[in-house]
């Protein structure tokens, strides 16, 4: 069963890596094609938009390669059996944020090619979101002594989940069942 799970993760990772590679090519074509056809001047190294585009390639390529490296399944070269499925690329957290940065970068590249350099303002979503998560997850709880959870999140945490058996024993104890009293007094 564990091997089936590893094979499933390896297949999902291979699909995600294939989509990353395809996305890199499509975003480059959809970004450069409108510039070549309609605004040749925007491809000049003298323009601000050109340098933003070139600089945006750095995180896009770096994070794509990082995700490929950690998500690539490793197989035995002689038999082809799966050695390691790689990290699960569908996992939330840092991996999810890496995908988000890559997607926002692609959107900015395509949008700036189609609509103009003002579209790069969308790229500010990344540091704004990082600042938000840092403030409410780390800095605010540390400096102001607040918990990282919101009050709505604290409500369910206060109630401890009980199993059906525990609930049944609690009801028996409330009725005064002697079997329950002897069990609780032994502890």
Distances (CA, A) of 154 to 136, 139, 161, 171, 180: 15, 19, 14, 26, 31
Query: Which of 62-71, 84-93, 177-186 has the least mean pLDDT?
Result: 177-186
Whole-angstrom Cα distance, residue 43 to residue 57? Answer: 15
Over residues 96-150, the pLDDT tens digits come to 999 999 999 999 999 988 888 888 899 899 999 999 989 988 888 888 876 655 5
Q: Rg of the chain's alpha carbons, rounded to an integer?
A: 26
Instruction: Note every long-range contact of 90-97, with CB atoms under 8 Å and residues 24 or more positions apart, other chains counting.
Output: 90/12, 90/16, 95/67, 95/70
The whole model's pTM is what?
Answer: 0.68
């Amino acid at each position: 069963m564990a091997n089936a799970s590893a094979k499933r993760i390896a297949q999902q990772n291979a699909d995600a890596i294939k989509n990353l590679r395809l996305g890199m090519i499509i975003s480059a074509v959809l970004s450069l094609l409108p510039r070549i056809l309609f605004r040749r001047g925007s491809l000049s190294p003298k323009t601000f938009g050109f340098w933003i585009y070139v600089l945006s390639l750095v995180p896009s390529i770096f994070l794509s390669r990082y995700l490929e490296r950690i998500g690539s399944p490793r197989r035995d070269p002689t038999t082809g059996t799966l050695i390691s499925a790689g990290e699960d690329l569908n996992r939330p957290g840092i991996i999810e944020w890496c995908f988000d940065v890559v997607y926002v970068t692609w959107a900015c590249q395509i949008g700036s090619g189609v609509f103009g350099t003002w579209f790069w303002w969308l790229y500010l979503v990344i540091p704004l979101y990082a600042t938000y998560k840092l403030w409410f997850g780390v800095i605010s709880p540390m400096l102001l002594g607040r918990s990282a959870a919101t009050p709505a999140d604290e409500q369910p945490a206060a109630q401890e989940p009980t199993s059906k058996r525990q609930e049944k024993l609690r009801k028996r104890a409330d009725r005064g069942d002697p079997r329950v009293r002897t069990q609780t007094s032994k502890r």
